[in-house]
Amino acid sequence: MAQQIPVDPKARADDPRRDAERDDATHAITGDVAYRRLVLVNVVFVGEPDAGDRGWVLVDAGVMGSKGAILSAAEARFGAGARPSAIVLTHGHFDHVGVLEDLASEWDVPIYAHALERPYLDGSAAYPTPDPSVGGGLLGRISPLYPTQPVDVSERLLDLPHDNSVPPLPGWRWVHTPGHAPGHISLWRGADRTLIAGDAFVTVAQESAYAVAVQEPELHGPPMYLTIDWDAARTSVRALAALEPERVITGHGRPLQGPEMRRALQALAADFDRVAVPAHGRFVEKPLRAEDGSAYRPPR
């Protein structure tokens, strides 16, 4: 079983007192970045509060059944009827696209993702079945039950530009961080060193139902049961650590900030194989990659 790197709770990037000032069920990280936890995953809202219609962007689209929670948080944060200018996806796993089709249709918005993630988003390929043998807890053991079938949002889907810009988010750049998924990306704003990491690494043991419930801050590699290329995952974590972010929001767990977070991230990057990689597992022995097509299997 992989290990974890404990982080001082004082490194939390969200502030409950500040959150209490707004009744929108989100947790502010900076003035224009907030997140909401939906069961076991986070979605991120980027835009100034009260930005109004088309004045903000949603990053990722939660789990099935979370549409109402996302809509209510968006309305409370940005104003009645406020739609985003786009939805940006870190990747297309089931817990990041749960209500993508419904939201995109209701809001009439484009969806941006990496070109290597497109097959999972246009209905042409399914993700590999998760590997429960990696251990770590209940959520890992039941992972073969998680949906792997693709969504089809091809009519709204746009590839992120090759120049690493994010058209709906001036000042942000996308960083290709594969391993957990072939087209996984993270979002980076250099001006204030804010990182939206997706699942390139996480701050909770996502395999453990207890850890997910308690949300003690710890640094982990990507969720083990669905990471299909550990060599790429290692390279991705090291690339993000080299950015030396000031604050980070991950797809699972609490956001963290400051020197303590950077210390833990550097430790994860330096000791990735011991801390993050499971001792055994289907994808440890035989990684799946976009380059040879092994990451893409026909949908059932």
Per residue in 194-224, pLDDT tens? 999 999 999 987 666 656 666 778 899 999 9
- Residue at 292 is within a domain: no
**pLDDT at 142 (0 to 100):** 77
Distant-in-sequence, close-in-space partners of 214: CB < 8 Å, separation ≥ 6 = none
Q: At what angle do helices 258-270 and 230-242 cross, to 10 degrees?
A: 150
Q: What is the pLDDT of residue 223?
A: 94
Please give the structure tokens belonging to residue 244: 């030396």
Task: Name the residue with tokens 């690493």.
Answer: 164
Q: Is 223 part of any domain?
A: yes
d(CA 34, CA 31): 8
Has residue 106 been placed in a domain?
A: yes
- Tokens 């083990």 correspond to what residue? 224
- The CATH number linked to 142 is 3.60.15.10
Distance CA 196, CA 13 (A): 12
Number of domains in the chain: 1
| 8-state DSSP, 33 | E
pLDDT given at position 25: 72
In this prediction, residue 249 carries a pLDDT of 97
Pairing between β-strand 247-250 and β-strand 194-198 as defined by DSSP bridges: parallel
In a domain, 176, yes or no: yes
Nearest Cα residue to 178 out of 115, 243, 106, 110: 115
Residue 294 lies in a domain: no
260-276 pLDDT per residue, tens: 999 999 999 999 999 99
d(CA 172, CA 245): 13
Q: Which long-range contacts (CB under 8 A, 24 or more apart) does 14-19 make?
A: 14/254, 14/255
Tokens at 48, concatenated: 């100034």
Burial of 191 from C-beta contacts in 10 A (0-12 / 13-18 / 19+): exposed
Q: Return d(Cα 5, Cα 274) in angstroms, integer.
A: 11
What six digits make up the tokens of 89? Answer: 């996806």
Q: What is the pLDDT of residue 141?
A: 79
Q: C-alpha distances in angstroms, 134 versus 72, 195, 227, 280?
A: 37, 28, 10, 6
Say if 293 falls within a structural domain. no
Q: What is the pLDDT of residue 131?
A: 93
Q: Does 295 fall in a domain? A: no
pLDDT beneath 50: ranges in the chain: none
291 in a structural domain: no
Structure tokens at 107: 């809001």
**Residue 180: closest CA among 160, 200, 198:** 200
Q: Report the pLDDT value the prediction gives residue 207, as an integer from 0 to 100.
A: 61
Query: Which range marks the domain in which residue 35 is found?
Result: 5-285
